[in-house]
Amino acid sequence: MLSKKSARTFFIAGTVITFGCFIVLTIDTFKKIPAQTNQHNLSESAIRGKHLFDQNNCMGCHTIMGEGAYYAPELTKTYEKRGAKFIEMMLTDPEKMFPGKRKMVKYNFTAQEKQDLIAFLKWVGEIDLNGFPPKPDLQVSQQSVSNLPGNQPSIIQDMCMSCHSLGGQGSQEGPGPALDGVGSKYGVEYLRRWLSNPEEVKPGTEMPNLELDKETIDELVSYLSKLK
């Protein structure tokens, strides 16, 4: 049994020591924040984007770093996952991306405001979060990228890969299937119709009409039909 006096000493010493540790660790954390957040990359545009993010209550539906509401997807890594072009389309007209299915607000952002939000989301994605959010442990296709035909239209990386995979790259989790071998699956005419308006080919499909112009479609069809 501790005497009353030694119990008090024990309590005070214990409190002082743990409080001391708390202060030291707090200072240490604060020192690491600028490096972990890449503070130097925080541009004017990203700061305006952060204000737009707050003013428009994006957190009312989305989370960033797990913080916010669980109605809509986590946005911490959305820049890396979806790319600027896709985000820009979501911010322009979500309904057009996913007719009749999605419940994201259509904001009337100016081109600058969209760029600011994209800059903010890009900056957020680069914060060192010690591995959050965890990546699913999926087996990546063994096919190497060098087996793919050359002259890949840049839109494949910028847009299609946010929903599809190809040669082991891109989104392994869908929602679209892998595009490997799609040239032996479908003919040129089908691919052209599909890319012009997926909904017309397959009513109710999850692939949005991306409003591609004729030139881009020609380029894509000629590339996709080589994927055999």
> From residue 138, how far is each of 132, 157, 168, 172, 228 by CA, in Å?
16, 20, 11, 8, 24
Position 102 contacts ligand HEC (CB under 6 A): yes
Nearest one of 37, 203, 217 to 120, comparing CA atoms: 37
Nearer of residues 37 and 85 to ligand HEC, judged by Cβ: 85
- Where residue 57 falls (left for φ over 0; alpha for ψ -120 to 50; beta otherwise) is left
Q: How far is CA 150 from CA 145, 146, 160, 172, 223, in A?
A: 10, 9, 17, 22, 9
Q: Given candidates 45, 46, 58, 64, which one binds ligand HEC under the rule CB under 6 A?
A: 58
Q: Residues 127-166 vs ligand HEC: string with x where CB under 6 A?
A: ----------------------------x---xx-xxx--
Residue 73 binds ligand HEC (CB under 6 A): yes
57 lies in the site for ligand HEC, by CB under 6 A: yes
Q: Does 221 bind ligand HEC (CB under 6 A)?
A: no
Instruction: Reply yes or no: is the peptide bond before residue 99 cis, omega within 30 of 0.
Output: no
Q: Does 170 bind ligand HEC (CB under 6 A)?
A: no
Binding range to ligand HEC, per CB under 6 A, among 1-9, 15-23, 101-109, 138-146: 101-109
Closest of 180, 198, 189, 181 to residue 221, by C-alpha: 189
Cβ proximity to ligand HEC: between 82 and 122 the closer is 82
CA dist., res. 172 & res. 140, Å (int): 8
Q: Please report which residue ranges of the chain form alpha helices under DSSP H.
A: 4-36, 44-55, 78-92, 94-97, 111-125, 154-158, 182-185, 188-196, 198-201, 214-224
What tokens were used for 139? 């087996």
Judged by CB, which is closer to ligand HEC: 148, or 220?
220
CB closer to ligand HEC out of 119 and 191 = 191
Q: Does 65 bind ligand HEC (CB under 6 A)?
A: no
Which of 31-39, 69-77, 128-136, 139-147 is the region at the interface with ligand HEC (rule: CB under 6 A)?
A: 69-77
Angle between helices 214-224 and 188-196 (to 10 degrees): 140
Of the candidates 2, 13, 24, 105, which one interacts with ligand HEC according to CB under 6 A?
105
Binding interface with ligand HEC (CB under 6 A): 53, 56-58, 60-62, 71-73, 75, 78, 81-82, 87, 90, 98, 102-105, 107, 117, 155, 159-160, 162-164, 175-177, 179, 182, 185, 191, 194-195, 202, 205-208, 210, 220, 224
